[in-house]
Chain A
Amino acid sequence: MRPPKEEELQSGNLTAMIDVVFQLIIFFVCTTNMQNTIDDRINLAIAPHGVPVTKKDPREIKIDVDKKGNISIQRTYISADLLRSIVKKSIAEYGADVPIVVRGDIDTRHTAIQNAMNACTDAGIYKIKFSVLKEKGK
């Protein structure tokens, strides 16, 4: 076997470093959830006995109701009338068992939650899920 030349030894072998860097990048890219649609401004109430979320239904409509009573879907503020139209459209497209999840702030007055729920019941949905925190991340 040919002994390595002096230039080869001085340049250093970067292959292992590049391997590790790429592996770390691939790992973090794969494990990062890029679709951060959850509104952090809403402080959910803690319910330790709530049913944990095991699987997601792609048809699910998440309705956020903030502390001031504003209704939003995917960070876009909407009126109760528009919410009603959205729910109606979803029912027409996916059926009457479209899961509706209401994410209300812990300090939101019931009137605001009532507006969101009434929009759903007007559209024909009588089963509603409340999103809660089972365990807060430490």
Chain B
Amino acid sequence: MARKRRKNSLQAGELNLTAMIDVAFQLLSFFVMTMKPTDVLAMIDVSRPAPDKRVSQSKPLNIIWITVLGDGRFILNDRPISKENLDTTLCQLGVLDTTQTVIIACTPNSTHGKLIDVLDLCQKAKLSSLSVVSVD
């Protein structure tokens, strides 16, 4: 009886890539699924007054004074102002003088997000001299 010779699936010089591709795809899908997109961080520089210096009641005329209230409203030099109008005003100021001092006064109940909103508008207007004070 003639002996039947088993035929090999692999020929000499051929490479079985199936396992490699399997592992590569598994690793790839694992890392793609577990990857968390990173947030782009930024910084806003501000100055603080010395703790012993009290906020004076009389505000100098050449300083822009923005108050952030607890209910989210803004006051620009004693006059209530909307965020849109504040944006426009600050942009106009920035065109005139980018070194204009802007003091942002925060009331105790105001949220940090509102302060950042104002600081962002100042950054947009290229105003660089920003101070944050706390008022009652």
Q: Which residues of A contact B (CB under 8 A)?
A: 3-4, 6, 9-10, 12-14, 16-17, 20-21, 24, 28, 44-53, 65, 101, 104-111, 113-114, 117-118, 120-122, 126-138
| Complexed CA–CA distance, A125 and B16 (Å) | 65
Most buried by B among A6, A17, A28, A136: A17
Q: Check A137 against B120 for contact (C-beta < 8 Å).
A: no
B1 within 8 A of A: no
| Closest 6 pairs (CB-CB, A-B) | A50-B42, A137-B37, A45-B116, A106-B113, A134-B42, A47-B120
| Complexed CA–CA distance, A119 and B100 (Å) | 27
- Provide the main secondary structure of the chain B interface: mixed
Per-position 1/0 for B79-113, Cβ under 8 A of A? 00000000000000000000000000011111111
Set A47, A52, A126, A137: member contacting B119, Cβ < 8 A: A47
| Complexed CA–CA distance, A125 and B35 (Å) | 38
- The closest CB in chain B to the CB of A13 belongs to B15
Set A107, A122, A132, A136: member contacting B44, Cβ < 8 A: A132
Q: Which residues of B contact A (CB under 8 A)?
A: 8, 10, 12, 15-17, 19-20, 23-24, 27-28, 31, 36-51, 68, 106-113, 115-117, 119-121, 123-124, 132, 134
For B124, the chain A residues whose CB sits under 8 A away are: 49
- The closest CB in chain A to the CB of B115 belongs to A110
Given contacts A49-B120, A113-B112, A117-B134, 9 further A-B contacts (CB under 8 A): A24-B27, A47-B119, A51-B44, A51-B123, A108-B112, A121-B51, A130-B43, A132-B116, A137-B40
